[in-house]
Structure 1
Amino acid sequence: MSQQEVTKLSWVYDLYRLGQSGALGGQAEAVQRQILEHIVRGFEGKSGTLALADEDGGSLGIVAGIDIPVQAIGSKVELGQGILGWVAEHGEDLLLNGDLRDDPRFSNLVRDKAPKPVSAMCWALKSEGKIMGVLSVNHKEGLPPYTSDDLARGSVMIGLISVVIENARLHVMHRQRIAALSRMNEEIRLANQQVEQMQGQLLQSEKLASIGQLSAGVAHEINNPIGFVYSNLGSLEQYLKDIFELFDVYENAEAAMPEAERAKVRAAKQQKDLAFLREDVQMLMKESRDGITRVKKIVQDLKEFSHVDAQDEWQWVDMHKGIDSTLNIVWNEIKYHAEVKKEYGKIPEVECLPSQLNQVFMNLLVNASHAIPEKGVITIRTGQRGDEVFIQVADTGKGIPPENLKRIFDPFFTTKPVGKGTGLGLSLSYGIMQKHHGRIEVESEVGKGSVFTVWLPTGRSVWSGWSV
């Protein structure tokens, strides 16, 4: 690979984008082949192989290949077997130049009819010190052989590739677990219907107890994959930092180039807009970390709802600040569907669990946005009556049919398309309001919209003497 090619941040950025496509689309095989093609092309190679370790790490499976026999795809390679197996067993990157019979490490692996002298590189893919696979590239004939510098530069990229492949694998595992949970939820829904037929409508408190147990299970199942992704994002940030530092070194070396070469480099940088790419990569990483942090917080809310690992504290809070911060978080979800109007009244601070109430506000605002087919208005009103304050979210959406109004707080009940909603939002909100000794009221008219009103006592001293 030429020095100019290595220093192109767009090449690294393309690798990052491949990882994004794999994580979002779940097309692991296609992404793996694209990654291999990207590396082979970048190093001006003729062929290449990508092999990943199985779950127990005892062997490799060839998952992608460029210019190799078709029947090789899917075949197994035992640790220590051949070049790939040697790299996986020893965990060392490898540079091969010349006849393999001259290399004492591999002389016993070469048959009588040895291949022509070769130039190849093999890298061990690692994640947290564990071998997860091997990637190899074979040079085109007639070109200068690969050097140790090529191997070292490739090692920097391999760290990024390892994260990309690991994230794609984790995404597949996550989808499988979500599918299993969906099947379990469907079985529970059918079981609840049978109970309703035999015993009539369950009391709302019993339903909340049921969803509490389920949410604890959901939080436990998805917490570990989220932790893996969060950790890998940290590693990816460090890898990108290392790459940027390497890029700075190359950029500083431009002054030593002939003027004609510097002009070519400047033109290439302007064409690719490297300054923007560098800034945008950092922004994408920040957005990704913010997103996974939000997911982790939702999982924590599920645990809190189930009385697991409760860490929140009661505080005196300005409700308007909580509403505004939540509105900022969900603004991207709302801005294409609705204009937001605020009609804030004068209300005192409220003693509450602020993060949980913010979750309630988020659910109501997102639901209001989803209820508006094209463009409408969401109005947020606040006020006080006696010892209670209210927060009202009104929308000009399609409204809720009367037959669904009595079920909207049921666990897993949703009228949204498959994959659009879980049916947990309002149920969780209902449970949070019970914890605050508050309530949620709803009024709706089909074709005109809905109004959700949250009522809260101003403090725990207000409801401490209430009969329950």
Structure 2
Amino acid sequence: MKALISAEEKLKERIKELKCLYAVSSFIANSNLENLSPTIQVIANSLQKAVRYPEDASVEILLNKEIFREGEEPVNKVFLLSAIKAFNIPIGSIKVGYSEDKYTSNDFLNEEKRLIQKVASEIGNLFERKQIIEKELMAKRQMERVDRLSILGEITAGIAHELNTPLANILGYSELLKDQFADNKDATSDLEKITNSAIYSREVVKKLMFFSCEMPHQMKQTNIVPIIKDAISLLKPNFISKHIDCKVQILEEDIPYRVDSIQLTQVIFNLIINAIHFSPENGTITVNVRQNIKNIIIEISDEGEGIDVSKSENIFNPFFTTKQVGEGSGLGLSVVHGIVKSHKGTIEHSPNTPKGTTFTIKFPKK
């Protein structure tokens, strides 16, 4: 055990502690919030120098399962420990220790205990600031995306209305010409191609109108469970062809909601077809339907590669697709977004565990 500390030594230790606190504040003020590892490492180094016996001390800062260490950690040690919290939630700890062979707990000064607690508090405040800024940026991006989708909705609604009339004329005149050229097989074949192309274009226009919430609703109070189950059963051949298992988890057989049943079917269809497309063979798609006091919640999860962060903000935009050319129009998720929005609901995506994507739809009950 070391000798008792004199007044002069105590003053020197206090100066070291104040220098440490000043250095920690400086490191935090100049830290890069996108990469805090260097900041935490220099804080650990500064803290080691500030304790009474720095040459024998080990400092360990644990943050979100990552360890920052200064000094050799003794096998048997005495130590001081302080929790690091952000918004009162533990996110790590600071541990300062000595070898038990040379020191005892009495070799720690009360001022050192307070120093470690203060540094832990400063690190916690840093992570609180990081979380606040990240949430503000996320909210800003969400607002920007909502604005973009709103503008796109107005544009697509205008385009859809403008295209409806000429498409109707093309279809009408094509049918008239078929009658006139009934005996000409080549002309009839060409007219059939024109008609099919016009019908396909009309379906695209219909999807645009779904996205922009311009389609008329036939809303009525109904049990949505049979609607969801029927939509899934119709996709059975798709599951079989790719050897995919679909697990449906619905705890309650009666979940009433005021909804357009055709549009809800289209939402389930589009999301599950997407999940099938991105799922590996012999994968599993999970559909979970439940309700609480406020919302009806529908979750559809796949085991695909997941959504790249760089593309996550655009997936609900019309004509945006990650599928190969010719495999999708890029309107499926935008249509889903439009329908969910028209029912005053929300749709979000998140990583599935251990891999894949989960789409979560929430329909408010009121």
Q: TM-score, normalised on structure 1? A: 0.38
Give the TM-score of the pair, scaled to structure 2: 0.47
Larger radius of gyration: 2
